[in-house]
Amino acid sequence: MSRPAPRLVLHGGAGVIDPQHFPEARREAVRAALERIVLEAWALLQAGAAALDAVEHAVVLLEDCEFFNAGRGAVLNAAGEVEMDAAIMDGRDRRAGGVAAVCGLRNPIRAARAVLEDGQHVLLGGQGARDFALARGLAPADDDWLVTPERRLQLQRARAAGRVSLDHDEVYPSPSGERMGTVGAVALDAEGHLAAATSTGGMTNKLPGRIGDSPLVGAGTFADDATCAVSTTGTGEAFMRGVSAFDLHARLRYRGEALDVAAQAVVEESRRFGGSGGLIAVDRHGNIALPFDTPGMYRAFIDRDGAPRVAIYRE
């Protein structure tokens, strides 16, 4: 049987993304960024790169883009700090690496990859994660790089309202109007291998030390060549309680559900745990699914004709 062609899907977070407070010019800039990034990572896959390298590269680009809640532009916790979570997983053998509540790194996903390659542990947190990354030559970053004026304003407003919020769920107008979120990528490569990566600043005004679903294998990130690769976005606590990424894998593996049916069910299930959001997934046959139960989810993929597709709302 011939192998399915490579596939690539990205997300930039799910949420309300209120169009009223999102100027057209800004929306177009975000769409253009998503298109540029999906094309750049796609070029790697087309040139024969491993899915693992393609998803890492896509997430590095998303982290470096200040529109999104990951790396530069990540949201602030209740203490006014950027504490980031990230994970990456290889579907070939389920090797995985993650960092949680880590400060002062430019690209947490690179640190997660370093944890995976090192192989001794799966998840490192806080100062230990930062020390590990710096010892491996990864770039530090200070607040001048990581923190944008928009995020400081978001925190002030979240504090005033006593709210811990998903980045894109805030309803007040912001100067630039954007509501970007967590980022993720899933890919199937030419060898038939799957990989997933997720990176986030978490939720605005979260308690210091709070860790979300993104860096946790089986909650926000999962990949297994036998089934699918998945990255979630939305209320992390719900995806953790739902073990959502693993739930998608399990539905495919043990119940033989189709990817789109299973992915939709997983998002609906997460509502039981008080959350909202969405996920991106690709299965071993090259099918993709991008369900969400919020008004919008930033997303981009390459269609079967090789053309980039970018969407925010139900379009």
* Contacts to ligand ASP by CB under 6 A: 13, 69, 166-167, 181-182, 200, 202-203, 212-214, 220, 233-236, 277
Query: Nearest distance from residue 15's CB to ligand ASP, in Å?
Result: 7
| Nearest residue to ligand ASP, by Cβ distance, number only | 236
The region, left, alpha or beta by phi > 0 then psi within -120 to 50, assigned to residue 274 is left
Smaller CB distance to ligand ASP: residue 245 or 288? Answer: 245
Q: Which of 287, 238, 308 has the alpha carbon at shortest distance from 42?
A: 308
CA dihedral 287, 32, 294, 262 (to 10 degrees): 10
Cα gap 62→56, rounded to integer Å: 10
Q: Supply 241's token pair.
A: 């309680």
Task: Pick the closer one to ligand ASP by CB: 6 or 177.
Answer: 177
Query: Given phi > 0 = left and psi -120 to 50 = alpha, else beta, which region is 10?
Result: beta
Q: Which amino acid is at 154?
A: Q
Closest separation in Å from C-beta 175 to ligand ASP: 20
> Minimum CB separation from ligand ASP for residue 70, in Å?
9
Identity of the amino acid at 221: T
Task: Name the residue nearer to ligand ASP (CB basis): 220 or 296.
Answer: 220
Distance CA 49, CA 311 (A): 25
Nearer to ligand ASP by C-beta: 178 or 213?
213
In angstroms, the CA 67 to CA 142 distance is: 18
- 169 vs 224, beta carbon nearer ligand ASP: 169
CA–CA dist 315, 312 (Å, integer):
7
Minimum Å gap between C-beta 82 and ligand ASP is 13
The residue written with tokens 């998803």 in the block is 55
In the set 148, 182, 200, 221, the catalytic residue is: 182
Shortest distance in whole angstroms from residue 104 CB to ligand ASP? 18
* 182 classed as catalytic: yes
Distance from C-alpha of 220 to C-alpha of 274, rounded to nearest angstrom: 16
Q: Which residues are catalytic?
A: 182
